[in-house]
Amino acid sequence: MKYDYEIAVIGAGAAGYAAAIYAGRSGASVVVFDKGMGGGLTMEAPKVENYPGFKSIGGVELMEKMKEHAMEYAEMKFGEEVKELKLLNGGVEVITSRQKYVVGAAILCTGSEHRKLNVKGEKEFAGRGVSYCATCDGFFFKGKKVAVVGGGNSAVIEAIYLRQIGCDVFVIHRRDELRAEKALEEEAKEKGVKFIWNSVVEEIFGKEMVEGIKIRDVKSDKEKILEVSGVFISIGEEPQNGLAKQLGLKLDENGYIIVDEMGRTNVERIFAAGDVTDGVRQIITACAGGAKAALAAMKAIGKRSPF
Amino acid sequence: MKYDYEIAVIGAGAAGYAAAIYAGRSGASVVVFDKGMGGGLTMEAPKVENYPGFKSIGGVELMEKMKEHAMEYAEMKFGEEVKELKLLNGGVEVITSRQKYVVGAAILCTGSEHRKLNVKGEKEFAGRGVSYCATCDGFFFKGKKVAVVGGGNSAVIEAIYLRQIGCDVFVIHRRDELRAEKALEEEAKEKGVKFIWNSVVEEIFGKEMVEGIKIRDVKSDKEKILEVSGVFISIGEEPQNGLAKQLGLKLDENGYIIVDEMGRTNVERIFAAGDVTDGVRQIITACAGGAKAALAAMKAIGKRSPF
């Protein structure tokens, strides 16, 4: 079968760029599609201080570097959305918003999106006090007062995590009890996490940075102000698994694509990496996943990689 | 139990530095031990062009950046070798060449070493034509003539891999048949890899860079010169698993520490990451492993991480 490109990477975030670098260096012809301008969720991070090698760098700047790096090895198709992938006998058809391509293997790096509160100030202060990832951004709030919004295990663990970094932490939950395990709630209380029950966030406000939130008690309907420097919204992730579902890829109970340690899915010629595959949600782990998936994908195009 | 440090990282290569960054940012007190000056095997790479974000950087320079980065979050003990780890009830005792420490958890990032040919020129030209990793360095030899030394599956796969990058590839093997699978040998021949049988490398020579090798036919005892720009030595890896063995960690058949996807070993409070855990041997995958092991290790010290 004649391929337009040997390997197609869908999604130009950290995982996709790493996959492109590794596939290209392994001797494959590579195309990368992104419905937008690329960069993925990292673009929302004003500062990244946990990608080894860069003590502190803007998310946009880091992704710009990765893009330039990947462009050495792959053709980039920005603004071209992949609408459908069809398995062929000996290849994969990639149907985009512009045209069709035949490739030998596809690596899905479509990422995930953070479930939003959809309140005033959330979008405006994203990256300026509003965060969706305590592991990523917690350290920036060391010694400061923060709110965690949510009531599941993730929210409570993020609250404990922020506490141990040295934050003063309030969990805002709309009901009078958590979905989280009781033991976690006990641990959080023991460690000094404070809970504000039956409350919803109505607004996030500030000037340059977040300065506080307006919360409403759903029972009394009373509003109050909580002054905080950070708001961690922990109400769930939405892995971008539309293409994966079309293809019949196995997903876990949260909708993430199930892959083995080399990024192989249950369907031949289809690989996956990055936030669409798991919940660790770190730039460094996404890159490693992309690199491995690229090495594994070589075999699908009749080539070799040492791994 | 009172800890001198909550988390000890053993080995200051890419995995160790990443583990230190992630553990420190998660709110743990961290110490990193290295018997030498740190940096691991990456220090041997004159150029690294596959670590996403750096289009091209010297191995020493990249490790210097990672060291400075890790020093923001951890105390570094260079020139201090860990001789033994003892499991305590509720902690781990770290016995070094200098003193003893009690920690809550240890992350083994002790790396691996390349088995050497031990011939003239091998050490002198390391990183200047002599390589032990086709995935890492193959691309630098695109369009050039290279030798692969070895006869196992790895050697033949590396030869095929180098061929598909566009190298002119000779496999030098000391016997008249390979240990590698027959199918791999066929594939290699079909793809144009050439074999030089019953031959050993006597010397690697050149000026600034490798220019050729002297090989001796072990049957006829005749010597000849093969002009090559690169020599890939693929005769095995030696994971540095001494501490792991002492501790009774489960190893795979090649001596690598068996870990789960978060770097957990079969022994509580002991984690592992990087080249001592697997064969992918990439800087990016080592860093990801270190980051995950650090997040997993938080639980062992009674703290939390979202993963």
Q: A61-106, pLDDT tens digit by residue? A: 999 999 999 999 999 999 999 999 999 999 999 999 999 999 999 9
Instruction: Specify whether the CB–CB gap between A14 and B52 falls below 8 A.
Output: yes
Q: B164 and A289: CB-CB below 8 Å? A: no
Instruction: Specify whether the CB–CB gap between A179 and A152 falls below 8 A.
Output: yes
**What are the chain B neighbours of A295 within 8 Å (beta carbons)?**
135, 280
Name the active-site residue from B109, B136, B167, B287.
Answer: B136
Q: A237-261, pLDDT tens digit by residue? A: 999 999 999 999 999 999 999 999 9
Half-sphere exposure of B265 (CA within 13 A, CB side): 28
**3-class DSSP assignment, residue A224:** strand
**What are the chain B neighbours of A69 within 8 Å (beta carbons)?**
52-55
Q: Are strands A270-272 and B237-239 parallel, antiparallel or unpaired?
A: unpaired
Percentage of the residues of chain A whose pLDDT score is greater than 70: 100
**What are the chain A neighbours of B307 within 8 Å (beta carbons)?**
135, 279-280
Residue B77 has pLDDT above 90, yes or no: yes
Q: What pLDDT is stored for residue A85 in this prediction?
A: 98
Active site residues of A: 133, 136-137
Q: A292 and B307: CB-CB below 8 Å? A: no
Distance between A166 CA and the closest CA of chain B, angstroms: 8
Is B287 assigned a catalytic role? Answer: no
Rg (CA), chain B: 21
ipTM attached to this prediction: 0.93
Half-sphere exposure of A269 (CA within 13 A, CB side): 21
**What are the chain B neighbours of A166 within 8 Å (beta carbons)?**
27
Residue (of A99, A109, A103, A100) closest to A88 by Cα position: A103
Distance between B306 CA and the closest CA of chain A, angstroms: 6
Residue B205 has pLDDT above 90, yes or no: yes
Q: B122-149, pLDDT tens digit by residue? A: 999 999 999 999 999 999 999 999 999 9
DSSP code per residue over chain B:
---SEEEEEE--SHHHHHHHHHHHHTT--EEEEESSSS-GGGGG-S-B--STT-SSB-HHHHHHHHHHHHHTTSEEEET--EEEEEEETTEEEEEESS-EEEEEEEEE---EEEPP---BTTTTTBTTTEES-HHHHGGGGTTSEEEEE--SHHHHHHHHHHHHHT-EEEEE-SSSS-SS-HHHHHHHHHTT-EEE-SEEEEEEEESSSEEEEEEEETTT--EEEE--SEEEE-S-EEE--HHHHHHT--B-TTSPBP--TT-B-SSTTEEE-GGGT-S---HHHHHHHHHHHHHHHHHHTT-----
Q: Where in chain A is the domain with CATH 3.50.50.60?
A: 5-113+237-300, 116-233
**What are the chain A neighbours of B185 within 8 Å (beta carbons)?**
none
Distance between B253 CA and the closest CA of chain A, angstroms: 16
Find the residue in B nearest to A136 (Cα). B25
Helices B14-25 and B59-71 sit at what angle, rounded to 10 degrees?
Answer: 20
Q: A105-144, pLDDT tens digit by residue? A: 999 999 999 999 999 999 999 999 999 999 999 999 999 9
Residue B278 has pLDDT above 90, yes or no: no
From B14, B160, B187, residue closest to A52, measured CB to CB: B14
Q: B292 and A305: CB-CB below 8 Å? A: no
Q: A304 and B161: CB-CB below 8 Å? A: yes
Q: B65 and A72: CB-CB below 8 Å? A: no
For testing the chain B interface, which of A42, A131, A144, A164 should be mutated: the one with the most B CBs within 10 Å? A164
**What are the chain B neighbours of A171 within 8 Å (beta carbons)?**
none
From B68, B72, B166, residue closest to A27, measured CB to CB: B166
Distance between A55 CA and the closest CA of chain B, angstroms: 5
**What are the chain B neighbours of A138 within 8 Å (beta carbons)?**
25-26
Instruction: Specify whether the CB–CB gap between A273 and A263 falls below 8 A.
Output: yes
Kindly report the CA angle at B60 between B59 and B66, in degrees rounded to 5?
90
Distance CA A94, CA A85 (A): 5
From A22, A51, A304, residue closest to B50, measured CB to CB: A22
Kindly report the CA angle at B163 between B54 and B218, in degrees rounded to 5?
115
Instruction: Specify whether the CB–CB gap between A204 and A125 falls below 8 A.
Output: yes
CA distances from B118 to A167, B66, B123, B126, B254 (A): 55, 31, 8, 12, 21
Kindly report the CA angle at B258 between A158 and A288, in degrees rounded to 5?
55
From B55, B292, B304, residue closest to A69, measured CB to CB: B55
| Band of residue B102 on the pLDDT scale cut at 50, 70, 90 | very high
For testing the chain A interface, which of B190, B275, B280 should be mutated: the one with the most A CBs within 10 Å? B280
User: Which listed CATH number (3.40.50.720, 3.50.50.60, 3.30.540.10, 1.10.10.60) goes with A116-233?
Assistant: 3.50.50.60
Assigned fold of B5-113+237-300: FAD/NAD(P)-binding domain (3.50.50)
The model scores a pTM over 0.90:
yes
Distance CA A247, CA A269 (A): 11
Tell me the average pLDDT of chain A: 96
Q: What pLDDT is stored for residue A157 in this prediction?
A: 94
